[in-house]
Homo-oligomer: A and B are copies of this chain.
């Protein structure tokens, strides 16, 4: 029997329930893993609450990112062997695999070899954050001379974007609601921090950029502040919206977009892993960035699996700086 977390109904973190299940043998193209560490994603809290476009079929497993060791191979699995330490890339639908568990059945297309030199906790944190933030490189072509506004900068993806912007020679400007995280964000590579509830983001950005505006904005929030972000941008900039955390509609910022030729661009990390060439390129970049020290996972806090509900509470508290990782005792 395997200890797994399932949810039987939508709701607060208490609905994350421990159960003992008989896990099936891995099918064709699948492996069975012993899970060592689980990277938490905000989408999982939304899935738990019922606020995600993928709705659970109850009871459902949960969790799709992490690190483990291959215990058994299904038929036709190439490239991995029993005992390999692997990362699980969150390219499955929420509920399809259950990484909140001691063991999990995972399709081989979700596996990458775990990067050498990273702890389990670090290796469980990297793929969602860097593949998501890779938008600013792959699509935005961030480069020397660019200014990049990173909204919700203290999230794992926000910090990944700050690291990628710095690597590309661009100047990251962290936008965060209050200034209490400013020093921590600067320590993590943000050249500038603007607390949007305390300062005028447009005026501050124009001051920092000497009137030029930001060429890139990376925003998981959307909603009414997008107009302000657009007014802080420069000619032919790209404003990525990669989430809807505001819960509000985003009105297209008509006049700033028209007069400056701005693009408001939707983005999800699947745009990396669904395209084989791009996926290969992004993997190589992330591994090289980690090896060369341009990229470094920031772990906000770890929780043991037994405290998964507390981990979700912390995830939804917006107090963290970086990735929340849950560890599984073997």
Contact B252 A249 (CB under 8 A): yes
From A80-88, A95-103, A191-199, A259-267, give the one contacting chain B: A259-267
Contact A265 B262 (CB under 8 A): yes
A252 (CB) vs chain B CBs: closest residue: B250
Contact B266 A259 (CB under 8 A): yes
Shortest beta-carbon distance from A137 to chain B in Å: 14
Interface residues of A in 215-268 (CB under 8 A from B): 222, 226, 236, 238, 241-242, 244, 249-268
Cα–Cα distance between A265 and B249 once the two chains are bound (Å): 18
B-chain residues with CB within 8 Å of residue A236 when the two chains form the complex: 271
Interface check A116, CB cutoff 8 A? no
Known: A249-B251, A251-B249, A251-B250. A266 touches B271 (CB 8 A): no
Contact A241 B266 (CB under 8 A): no
Residue of A249, A250, A256 ringed by the most chain B CB atoms within 10 A: A250
A275 (CB) vs chain B CBs: closest residue: B235
Shortest beta-carbon distance from A138 to chain B in Å: 10
How many copies of the shown chain assemble into the complex? 2
Interface check A53, CB cutoff 8 A? yes
Contact A53 B250 (CB under 8 A): no
B-chain residues with CB within 8 Å of residue A267 when the two chains form the complex: 258, 261
Q: Mark A22-41, 1 if CB is under 8 A from B, else 0.
A: 00000000000000000000
Provide 20 A-B residue pairs closer than 8 Å at the C-beta atoms, listed in order of the A residue.
A222-B254, A226-B252, A238-B263, A241-B252, A250-B251, A250-B252, A252-B252, A254-B266, A256-B266, A257-B264, A257-B265, A258-B266, A259-B268, A260-B266, A261-B265, A261-B266, A261-B271, A263-B264, A263-B265, A264-B264
Residues of A within 8 A of B (CB): 53, 139, 222, 226, 236, 238, 241-242, 244, 249-268, 270-271
Of all A-B residue pairs in the complex, the 7 with the closest CB atoms, nearest first, are: A257-B266, A258-B266, A250-B252, A263-B263, A263-B265, A264-B264, A261-B271
